[in-house]
């Protein structure tokens, strides 16, 4: 297939005798956001490093193509097609934001004039024009991350790897980062995003892969993943006790609450099952006063897939990123 920005089969990586990626398959269509979701230590950064040619995969693995190029035989072509914003900032704090940008322009061999123009445009786009002449060390966490992405964009990559772009950011900076990511994709760029946050994957990603124990435990749209776990139901609420009783006999298997006059009918949230509920109501001549569909959220999925306990860290629990500044200027 030519319309895949990233295609990997049986991607494997071990460090010594520690197996980190145990043969994972990835297929990311062009112009989409793909999220690799997993807790600390799951292997997200390892996957990003391999796909961006920074780290060799184990030789036993299958083929890997990025931007249409074979990663092993043509790494230079892959590098020309991609941009990487690593988990740890590439920003040099000793020089200004503008100087960081110009450095990137030099690395991409842009002519001086063009380099200055590209730098100015990107700084403007990411709201950094006012701070452009200040040392990057004075930037807040959100500003540094924006500068980091702006630097990645200097080479106009078609595929961008963002490794935990919002870890350590406050909610407002996180939302502004989400907006940036959406705009990138609206411009046709493919984004490979790693995150520990279910909410983030749910919000942004067209497809999500849950990384667990070195494997992809599940992969699909957020909605598809949510349908994998039980707990979904259709809730029917009634005001008239007689109608409620009619519904109780129509839905033998539903769980009932006689006080609130509500019924919960198990459902995976699919159109087919919802229609079955409606059909049954219709044929019994019953009209519910309220009908709501409850799908489990990604948390339910994540806990079900990963066995719970090890799960998702709280926002401020970032052992692998102790030096990440908060949004306050230091």
Binding site for Mg ion (CB under 5 A): 44-45, 87
**Residue 233: which of Mg ion, ligand ADP, none does it interact with, CB under 5 to 8 A by kind?**
none
CA 318 to chain centre: 17
Which of Mg ion, ligand ADP, none interacts with 174 (beta carbon under 5 to 8 A by kind)? none
From the CB of 46, what's the least distance to ligand ADP, in Å?
3
Q: How far is the CB of 15 from ligand ADP (least distance, A)?
A: 3
Instruction: Return the one option of ligand ADP, Mg ion, none that residue 315 interacts with (CB less than 5 to 8 A, by type).
Output: none
Phi-psi region of 29 (alpha: psi -120 to 50; beta: other; left: phi over 0): beta
Min separation Cβ 200 and ligand ADP, Å: 14
Q: Count how many residues are written for the chain.
A: 330
Please choose, from the candidates 276, 261, 210, the residue with its C-alpha nearest in 3D space to the C-alpha of residue 26: 210
Q: In terms of C-beta density within 10 A (0-12 exposed, 13-18 middle, 19 or more buried), how is residue 196 classed?
A: buried
Closer to ligand ADP by CB, 41 or 171: give it.
Answer: 41
Give the DSSP letter string of 117-146.
HHHHHHHHHTT-TTTTTSBGGGS-HHHHHH
> What is the contact surface with ligand ADP in residues (CB under 6 A)?
15, 18, 20, 38, 40-46, 320
Return the one option of Mg ion, ligand ADP, none that residue 324 interacts with (CB less than 5 to 8 A, by type).
none
38 binds, among ligand ADP, Mg ion, none (CB under 5 to 8 A by kind): ligand ADP
Least Cβ distance, residue 87 to ligand ADP (angstroms): 7
Phi, psi of 12, deg, nearest 5: -125, 145
Nearer to ligand ADP, 86 or 97 (CB): 86
Q: Kindly state the smallest distance separating residue 233's Cβ from Mg ion, in Å.
A: 36
Chosen from Mg ion, ligand ADP, none, partner binding at 317 (C-beta under 5 to 8 Å by type) = none
Q: Give every strand in the sheet of 233-237, ordered side by side.
A: 255-257, 262-266, 233-237, 290-294
Residue whose CB is less far from ligand ADP, 152 or 167: 167
Q: Give the shortest CB-231-to-ligand ADP separation in angstroms.
A: 27
Alpha-carbon torsion (251, 252, 253, 257), positive or negative: positive
Binder of residue 53, out of ligand ADP, Mg ion, none (CB less than 5 to 8 A by kind): none
Residues 6+ apart with CB under 8 A from 315: none
Closest distance of CB 194 from Mg ion, Å:
7
CB closer to ligand ADP out of 54 and 293: 54
DSSP H/E element including 46: helix 44-51
Residue nearer to ligand ADP on the CB measure, 195 or 262: 195
Q: d(Cα 157, Cα 69) in Å, to the nearest integer?
A: 14
């Amino acid at each position: 297939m030519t319309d895949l920005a990233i295609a990997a089969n049986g991607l494997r990586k071990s460090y010594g005798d520690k197996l980190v990626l145990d043969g994972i398959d990835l297929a990311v269509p062009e112009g989409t956001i793909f999220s690799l979701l997993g807790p600390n230590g799951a292997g997200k950064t390892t996957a990003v490093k391999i796909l961006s040619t920074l780290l060799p995969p184990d030789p036993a693995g299958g083929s890997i193509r990025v931007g249409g190029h074979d990663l092993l035989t043509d790494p230079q072509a892959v590098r020309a097609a991609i941009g990487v914003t690593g988990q740890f900032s590439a920003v040099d704090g000793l020089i200004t934001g503008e100087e960081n940008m110009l450095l990137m322009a030099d690395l991409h061999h842009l002519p001086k004039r063009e380099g200055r123009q590209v730098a100015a445009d990107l700084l403007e786009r990411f709201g950094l024009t006012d701070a452009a002449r200040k040392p990057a060390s004075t930037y807040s966490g959100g500003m540094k991350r924006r500068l980091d992405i702006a630097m990645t964009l200097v080479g106009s990559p078609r595929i961008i790897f963002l490794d935990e772009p919002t870890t350590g950011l406050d909610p407002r900076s996180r939302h502004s980062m989400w907006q940036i990511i959406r705009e990138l994709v609206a411009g046709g760029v493919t984004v490979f995003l790693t995150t520990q946050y279910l909410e983030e994957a749910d919000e942004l990603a067209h497809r999500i892969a849950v990384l667990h124990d070195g494997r992809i435990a599940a992969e699909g749209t957020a909605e598809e993943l949510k349908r994998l776990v039980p707990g979904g139901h259709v809730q029917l609420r009634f005001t008239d006790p007689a109608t409620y009783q009619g519904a109780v006999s129509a839905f033998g298997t539903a769980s009932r609450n006689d006080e609130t006059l509500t019924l919960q009918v198990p459902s995976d949230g699919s159109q087919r099952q919802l229609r079955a509920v409606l059909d049954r109501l219709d044929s019994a001549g019953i009209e519910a006063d309220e009908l709501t569909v409850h799908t489990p959220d990604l948390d339910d999925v994540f806990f079900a897939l990963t066995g719970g306990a090890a799960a998702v860290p709280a926002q401020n629990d970032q052992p692998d990123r102790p030096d990440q500044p908060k949004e306050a200027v230091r």
